[in-house]
Amino acid sequence: MSARTAYTNARVIDPARGLDAPGGVLTRGGRIEDTGADLFAGGVPEDAERVDCGGAWLVPGLVDMGALVGEPGREHQETIHSAGRAAAAGGTTAVACLPNTDPVIDNEAALEFVARRARETKLVKLHAHGAITRGCEGRDLTEMGLLSEAGAVGFTEGLHALADPGMMRRALSYATAFGVTVAQRPEEPSLASGSMNGGERATRLGLGGRSRHAEAMTVERDVRLVRMTGGRYHAGPITCRESLAVIRAAKADGLPVTCATAPPYLALTEAAVGDYRTFAKVAPPLRGEADRAAVAGAVADGTIDAVASDHNPQDQDAKRLPFESAAFGIAGLETRLALTLDLVNAGTLSPDGLVRRLALDPARILGLNAGTLAPDAPADLAVIDADPRWVIDPDAFLSKCKNAPFDDRPARGRVHRTVVDGRPIHRAADDGIAA
Amino acid sequence: MTAAPHGDPRLAGMRHLLAIAGMTREQVEGLLDLADVYVDHSRAAGRKISRLAGRTVVNLFFESSTRTRTSFELATQRLGGDVINMEVSWSSVKKGETLIDTAMTLNAMHPDALVVRAPDSGAVQLLSEKVTSAVLNGGDGAHEHPTQALLDAVTIRRRRGTLHGLRVAICGDIAHSRVARSNIHLLTLVGAEVRVIAPPTLLPTGIEAMGVEAYTDMRAGLTGCDIVMMLRLQTERMQGSHVPSIREYFRFYGLDHAKLAAAKPDALIMHPGPMNRGVEIDTVVADDIDRSLIREQVEMGVAVRMAVLDVLAGGPAEAAA
């Protein structure tokens, strides 16, 4: 008989079942046995270990649909182990990594390597996107059929866009045979060649700009290709108003289009670049306040389906360079929840919406059996106390990389416990949970 | 020597064979009936026919071909005609009006029939407008290959007795296949139910408007089929441009016994050749003598081409016995 655990005295939020009420969750082994408002009204089962959540939120384990993990090939920046610990600290139980490893995840062996390392590491569930083209070189399609049978959760070129429209058309079209999603980081590379948001600030700093239109036109073009092929398409991170208008229209027409953004675009504007601050260098770039507000609004209204970490670990050397030479990328695994919680604390987003954006919808887009506390679902969950105030300190990140422009930023809400398949993989030192 | 068959009024008005599209059901059935006659003639050793006696057929091939050209060559010889083979490189033809120049030059030599294969869709028809002889399309680009469809139809009809009501699946590179297009026209014309099965990258837009059902899942597409026609996948499309790899193509679209199990238990397998074993078809299936009609198709090819040459270039109908 598998061990049972009773999570009691919680605010259970499970949007898949329209649940947001005081209650609890009972797990048995790696599965959820039951979830509900009055679950323990008759008392906790005798054989169950009791975890008193102290009134904290009990939510489905968060799902991160886009993070770069450095393994294989960039282990000095991030390993599956360090990424797993960092993600768990942010309440995340499943991560879908990008294929831009070395070698690229464009074949079954690479996919199986990641799966095997994740199993050995026993932290978060690590899923992988396959590359759309071999070596992410934009020329030859990968074996999407075989890769999806081997567990690829989607296909993307990862850190850059698939620029060629003919290739994108073929990818979207081919993907329909296997019902898989083609994901795009939408920035037309021939226009997005600069190092920060195009506009006045880039001009004053003497930096090359990346126009918002380079993003919007790629989304526009891809949506056109979706109309043509019927392929399932996901765009992200989305950072500007024009892209949102295109996505809204596509969704209104019932097209199989979804999108995501990332916390930096909710939390910061291009002002963070300040005086050539390379930690704020990211692609797509941080935009202006109107775009930031629009993106936050779209997260709240559901135009944006998911908030992914867009974790892109860089070592100090890659960032300690003149702005234009420095690498793109922000570490994001540990701050995804806290920065999205800001929207809840600001009254923009409901707790239910937060769970949708961080767990339910990404799970749905990736086709994972996750994102819900429904009976018989895997016992992947997080206990989150939305109240405590703290200050973000990148030096304290569990991730190997500290490249984040959030130092000294006040935050609110901490993860007490992260559980995967019934196993706690993260416990806050001061979680105060009576075990 | 006997100046035999033809004399079929259904075929009286035919001047060229450019495409199955536009033909009547009567014309198709007339050609199939005549091909049946020539199958028997060919099988009877020593039987000589003189329908093309004193006539000249020119095989004008702008694209290399062994099977189709040889088949037309043999058909001409069996009908007692003379045949000349011309292989012209398409790259030289592309530089200007040379296609028409070549046609005019040949026309001045008064051949009785021109069998033309060209890599550009529509090129054979263009040529036919410039010459006085009969023109037989030996395959133009991705447009049509009418004698292939006719020989496939004869092959099926001899095995199944009829084409009407059969469920036929055409599988593979539909987008670039003239064989597929000719077969779709012919089979739908005679009342067969036609399905096409291909990865989405090899399914041309609007194919359903040609009266077929399109499938990207091979098992679903093969369900309940009487006939499974496999198409050749060109090497240049196997390496990532349309299909990621041979391995993946074979896994999802190669005909093996596991996928064939979805078709009717007595479903027959066809292939226009040459086959890529291990790409679109498993060797075991290709060589399954109970199921595979592939060698029979080659035999029917000669008979069908005899029938067409007879009708288009043979002596006057009243000379028929």
pLDDT digits (tens, 9 = 90+) for A148-178: 999 999 999 999 999 999 999 999 999 999 9
Residue A431 has pLDDT above 60, yes or no: no
Closest CA to A148 of B235, B259, B251, B215: B251
**Residues in chain A within 8 Å Cβ distance of B240:** 133-134, 139-142
Q: What is d(CA B208, CA A264) in angstroms, rounded to the nearest whole number?
A: 47
Q: Is residue A417, in this structure, part of any structural domain at all? A: no
Chain B: nearest CA to A79, how far in angstroms? 30
Which chain B residues are within 8 Å of A144, Cβ to Cβ?
A: 244, 248
Q: How far, in Å, CA of B50 to CA of B28, rounded?
A: 23
Q: Would an 8 Å CB–CB cutoff place A50 in contact with chain B? A: no
CATH of the domain at A345: 3.20.20.140
In this structure, chain A runs to a length of 435
pLDDT of residue B47: 67
Average pLDDT for runs of 10 along chain B of length 321: 67 94 97 96 80 95 92 95 90 73 88 95 94 96 97 97 97 96 98 98 95 98 98 82 93 96 97 92 92 95 97 70 39
Domain count, chain A: 1
Question: Which of helix, strand or coil describes residue B198?
Answer: coil
Under an 8 A CB cutoff, do B200 and A145 touch? no
pTM over cut 0.90: yes
Q: So what's the pLDDT on residue A130?
A: 98
Nearest CA among B59, B114, B104, B116 for reference residue B86: B59
| Residue A347 identity | G
Which value, in Å, is the radius of gyration of the alpha carbons in chain B?
19
CB pairs under 8 A between A and B: 45
A280 domain residue, yes or no: yes
A168 close to A139: Cβ distance less than 8 angstroms: no
Closest Cβ–Cβ partner in A143, A144, A176 for B216: A176
Whether residue A380 lies inside any domain: the answer is no
Q: What does the block give as tokens for A398? A: 């569990």
pLDDT digit string, tens, across residues A257-274: 999 999 999 999 999 999
Mean pLDDT over A343-350 rounds to: 96
Are B199 and A142 a contacting pair at CB < 8 A? no
In the DSSP assignment, the letter for residue B230 is E
Domain holding A271, by residue range, is: 62-366
A315 in active site: no
Contact B217, B258 (CB under 8 A): no
Of A14, A20, A34, A310, the active-site residue reads A310
**Residue A262 placed within a domain:** yes
Mean pLDDT, rounded, for A422-434: 77
Q: Which two tokens stand for residue A8?
A: 């009691």
To the nearest whole angstrom, how far is the Cα of A178 from the nearest Cα of chain B? 9
Per-residue pLDDT at A2 exceeds 90: no
CA distance to partner chain A, nearest, from residue B158 (Å) = 35
Residues 164-183 (A) with a CB less than 8 A from some CB of B: 170, 173-174, 176-177
A416: in domain: no
CB-based contact A170 B199, cutoff 8 Å:
no
Query: Can you tell me the ipTM of this complex?
Result: 0.88
Structure confidence by residue, pLDDT tens digits, A220-258: 999 999 999 999 999 999 999 999 999 999 999 999 999
pLDDT at residue A373 above 50? yes
Compute the distance between CA of residue A142 and CA of residue B73 in angstroms, rounded to an integer: 43
Q: Report yes or no on A304 lying in a domain.
A: yes
In-domain check, residue A137: yes
Which band of pLDDT confidence, cut at 50, 70 and 90, is reported for residue A435? Answer: very low
Q: Are A140 and B252 an interchain contact pair (Cβ–Cβ within 8 Å)? A: no
Pairing of strands A125-128, A196-197: unpaired
Nearest CB partner across the interface for A142, out of B200, B244, B252? B244
Domain assignment present for A29: no
| CA–CA min distance A396, chain B (Å) | 44
Cβ contact B269:B293 at 8 Å? yes
pLDDT grade for A70, boundaries at 50, 70 and 90: confident
CA atoms in the 13 A half-sphere facing the CB of A258: 20
Residue in A140, A146, A174 nearest the CB of B199: A174
3-state secondary structure of A264: helix
Tell whether the model's pLDDT for residue A181 goes beyond 80.
yes
CB atoms A174 and B201 under 8 Å: yes
Please report, rounded to a whole number, the percentage of residues in chain A having pLDDT higher than 90: 95
Residues 201-240 of B with CB under 8 A from A: 201, 216-217, 239-240
Q: Which of A139, A146, A176 sits opposite B200 (nearest CB)?
A: A176
Residue B247's region, left for phi above 0, alpha for psi from -120 to 50, else beta, is: alpha
B30 touches chain A (CB under 8 A): no
Q: For residue A145, which residues of chain B lie inside 8 Å, CB to CB?
A: 244, 248, 251-252
Residue A420 CB neighbour total at 10 angstroms? 24
Residue A358 and residue A378: Cα distance in Å, rounded?
17
Give the position of tokens 């990865």.
Answer: B199
Residue A427 is inside which H or E element, if any? strand A423-427
